[in-house]
Amino acid sequence: MSVVLQSGRGCVLDARPPPLLGAYSRCVRWRDGQKSHVDCRFKCFQVSKSHFSANAAVDGGNTDMSQETVKPSKKRKRKHSELNQGEIDSQIFHEKIRSVILEGTNSLVDSARSLGHLTGEADPSKEPLPSHECSLAALCGMAKELPLVASEEQATQPLVARDGCTSHVDLFSRVTENRSGRASVVTLMGGEYVIPPHTAFLLSDFTRLQPLVQCGAMFNLIVIDPPWENKSVKRSRRYGSLPSSQLGRLPVPLLASPNCLVVTWVTNRPSHRRFVRDELYPHWGVEVLAEWFWVKVTTSGQFVFPLDSQHKKPYETLVLGRYRSTAGTTTSPPGTPEVFVEDQRLIVSVPSALHSQKPSLSEVLKPYVGAEAKCLELFARSLQPGWTSWGNEVLKFQHTSYFTLAPADDQADVSQDNSKS
């Protein structure tokens, strides 16, 4: 996801298919050991209309979006005095950051429009959302009975064997690596998936993270998108949630290099934010540095839900911290100066219409970790070029139903691939 604008308040991202263009534009497609080339592009499903009355005084947004029109609730509205403690805490936090969100977003959107972005001219895909039924989580549940690899040497495996086949791949107990400089379209578990270049991933249940640790890799950036428990998730049954108390079992200290930047996506429930700041990060030895906000706008720069709505907010919080290998240590190793992380920065972008698909933070966080940083995403549902990813639905948005594939007859590409093999 490319950064189109930077300022002291934050940045604006272009969520349309290029940033993936450079990684996916020409892919190697493997079928029965045979290689061909295809042009590949991620379909664009952006939110182009606000989900509220055009006469509303203030606009806002939320990631739990569908393409259906939001209908007025038939439930009786509660009086302010009937709000529970969590809702009261949410309102207090919202009032505290409201001006930061409103003024910062207005400034960033105005600047982006002057550069030709967020003008409403984007043409989101007219295709319906893919109907692919993701059964990866269920498969991970069944795979818990399979034996794990026994040694560090067996913890990784190539995506494509020398004969061009993928039948050898054990997705559930080994880290799979696409070591090629090109994206690969491969058949896994009976479905076709697009795997970015120089990418590693582990498809497993929460209890089966050992192969990731056994690889021995230490990461400079760890991004975590927990499946937080909430009523909306329980009602929709779109994915399984995880109690907050279980997150402490993530082996972050075993995966983080000294001064690793740890970034956690947090819902707008105050209890989740407090848990990350006051319990989870201290448990891992992570020092809290800042809170950033992802602000969701339409292709014309409006918030997609009322900013002051008690039910839907136009932002989500990211809690940023540094892993300190020794409790109380805040200095960096010699030769690796630590970059200051500003507080209350905004990330403004058009959200995807695909449920729970977050924007890529790769380019946003690069100044704080370096261009050569080793990056890891936990609870991932898609892959990023150059990153390692883990989750029980880590390949969900890599299924070819989310991409447009077209045959490519480019002899230059064929010659280049042959010269590298």
Mean pLDDT by 10 residues, the chain (421 residues): 91 70 74 89 78 44 35 50 83 95 97 93 65 84 79 83 87 94 92 95 93 94 92 53 90 96 95 96 97 95 89 93 72 64 97 86 95 96 96 95 84 52 48
The pLDDT of residue 69:
38
C-alpha triplet 14, 15, 18: angle, nearest 5°: 85
**Any bridge partners for residue 2, and if so which?**
14
Would you state the structure tokens that stand for residue 60, as one six-digit string? 């806002």
User: Does residue 175 lie within any of the structural domains?
Assistant: yes
- Residue 238 belongs to a domain: yes
Residue closest to 31 by CA, chosen among 176, 202, 190, 139:
190
pLDDT for 183 equals 93
The answer to the question of residue 127 being in a domain is yes
* Spatial contact of 328 and 211, defined as CB atoms under 8 Å apart: no
Among 406, 43, 401, 412, smallest CA distance to 191 is for: 401
The amino acid at 356: S
**Whole-number pLDDT of residue 150:** 59
Residue 36 lies in a domain: yes
Q: Look at residue 81 and tell me if it is in a domain.
A: no
Pairing of strands 199-203, 191-195: unpaired
- Does 80 fall in a domain? no
Among 358, 234, 249, CA closest to 296: 358
Domain membership flag for residue 83: no
Structural domain that includes position 156: 2-65+88-420
- Residue showing tokens 């080793």: 374
DSSP letter, residue 262: E
Structure tokens at 153: 């040497």
Q: CATH no. for residue 279?
A: 3.40.50.150
The whole-angstrom separation of Cα 181 and Cα 369 is 22
Predicted TM-score (pTM) of this structure: 0.87
Give the number of domains in the chain: 1
Q: Residue 7 and residue 29: Cα distance in Å, rounded?
A: 41
The helix (run of H) or strand (run of E) holding residue 40 is: strand 34-42
In this prediction, residue 54 carries a pLDDT of: 41
Question: Is residue 70, in this structure, part of any structural domain at all?
Answer: no
Q: Are strands 388-391 and 403-407 parallel, antiparallel or unpaired?
A: unpaired
3-state secondary structure of 375: strand
